[in-house]
Structure 1
Amino acid sequence: MERNRNDATSMQQLLEQIRDSAASSGQVSVASILHSVGERSFGPVVLLAGLITIAPLIGDIPGVPTILGTLVVLTLGQLLFRRHSIWLPAWVSQRSVPQEKLLKGVDWLQKPARFLDRWTGPRLVFLVDGPGLYVMAIICMLVAMAMPAMEVVPFSANGAGAALITFGLAIVARDGLLAIVATSLTLLTGWLVLTGLTG
C-alpha cells in the first residue's frame, strides 16, 4: 500500500487530523473526517472507526457501530481491489456526529494515544506489508460485518472497536506485533459475540 506524505503515522497525529475536521461548528460529517485523515489512508480509516466505536458519547449512539462497520467493509473492500483512493456512498459520507461529542471523544482518547504511541513502531513488518496487509484487511472486514449483531450484545462492540484500533494502528505504525495482538482480540470478541447470541 503506497503511503501519502500526509498520512498519519501515530494515533496522536490522527487525533489532531480529526480535530481539524471539526473546526466548523455544528455537525461533522464522515466525509469531512475522511478528507482530514486522507482519502488514500486505509489504515487510519480503520483506526478511526475503532476509536469512534469505543469513544464515550459517540460509540454509544444507536446505529453508530453499524455505520462504522459499513465504513470499514467498504474501505477495505476497495483496498483488496487495489483502489488508490476511498469512495463512499452518500448515505455513509453524509452521516454526521455533533461537533461537541466528537471533540470530547478526541480529548478522552489523547492519554491512551500517547501511551500507545510510545510502544509502537516498525516490527515484524512482513506481517503488515504485501500479503500480510490483505490478510489483515479480510479479518477487519469480518469484524466489521459482525458489528450490527454486536449492538444487541452488551460491550461486544467495544471489543470490536479495540480490535479495529489495534489493526489500524498496526497498519499505520507498520507494527506486525500489534497485528498479532489484534488477531487475538478478534478471536476473543468473536467468542463473546457467539456466547452472547447463543446464551
Structure 2
Amino acid sequence: MAGNETQADINNIQQLLVQIERVARGSDRISLRMVLPILGQRSFAPILIFAGLITVAPVLGDIPGVPTIMGAFVVLTVAQLLFRKQHIWLPRWMLDRSIASEKVVKVSQWCCRPARYIDRLLRPRLEFMVRTMGTYAIAVTCFLIGLLMPMMEVIPFTANGAGAAFTIFGLALIADDGLLALMAFAFIVGFIALGVFGLL
C-alpha cells in the first residue's frame, strides 16, 4: 500500500477535507490507495469520516458499488484493528478502484461550509463513551453496518444513512466527544425503528 503522500495530523473534518482535496487535485482520478496514507493505518476516526462522507455525498454515494466498497473498507479495517494488526491489509481491487477527482473536489467544496460549523461544535465531553469499551462498541457497530451496506444499495437512502452514522462516529472519536457518540447510537436506533415501521 505504498503511496506518495505521508500521513497528516487529522484533528477535525476540515483538515481531512483539505488533505483529500489536495490529493485529488494532483491526479485525474483518485483511488483508496492514494488516500489511505493520509488517513493512517491505525487511525480509525479519519477512516470512518472518509467512508461516511463518500457514502453520504449525493455526487459519490449514489454511484453503484461505492457504498458497498466503503462498507467493505470499514469492515476490513475494523476487523484488523480489533485484532490489533499493525498494518491494515486491503485487497488490490479495493485499493485501485478509482473515481474522478473532479467529483471528489466538488464534494469537498460542498462539505466545506457545514464542516466549519460542525468543527466549532465538537469538544471533549462524556469521554467514557469514546474510551476503551465505548470505542469497542463503536467499532462493532460500524462493523455490522458495513456488513449490511451491499443490501442498502437497493433500498433508497439507507446507504446514505449508514454513511451519516460512520461520519458521526468518526467525528465523535476524533474530538473525544462522547455526547456525539450517544447521538450516533440514538440515530442508528431511530433509523432501524423507521425501517421496521416502513416494512410493517
Is the contact made by 2:25 and 2:105 (CA closer than 8 Å) also made in structure 1? no
Q: Which moved more, 1:36-45 or 1:74-83?
A: 36-45
2:88 aligned residue: 86
Indicate which of 140, 161, 181 corresponds to 1:159: 161
Distance 2:104 2:37 in 1: 16
RMSD (Å) for aligned C-alpha atoms: 1.6
Structure 2: which 5+ residue stretches go unaligned?
1-6
Report 1:47-62 matches (<5 A): 47-62=49-64
Change (3 A) 1:90 1:78: same
Question: Given the two structures, how large is their TM-score scaled by the length of structure 1?
Answer: 0.91
Distance 2:24 2:129 in 1: 34
Question: Given the two structures, how large is their TM-score scaled by the length of structure 2?
Answer: 0.91
2:143 aligned residue: 141
The DSSP-based 3-state class of the residue aligned with 1:123 is coil
Deviation of 1:39 (Å): 2.4
2:93 counterpart letter in structure 1: W
- Identical counterparts, % of pairs: 49
CA distances 1:49-76 after superposition (whole Å, capped 9, x unpaired): 1001111211110111000000000111
Indicate which of 146, 152, 165 corresponds to 1:150: 152
CA distances 1:97-133 after superposition (whole Å, capped 9, x unpaired): 1000010011111111111101101111111111211
Structure 1: which 5+ residue stretches go unaligned?
none
Is the contact made by 1:28 and 1:97 (CA closer than 8 Å) also made in structure 2? yes
1:82 counterpart letter in structure 2: R
Distance 2:120 2:23 in 1: 25
1:121 counterpart letter in structure 2: R
The DSSP-based 3-state class of the residue aligned with 1:57 is helix
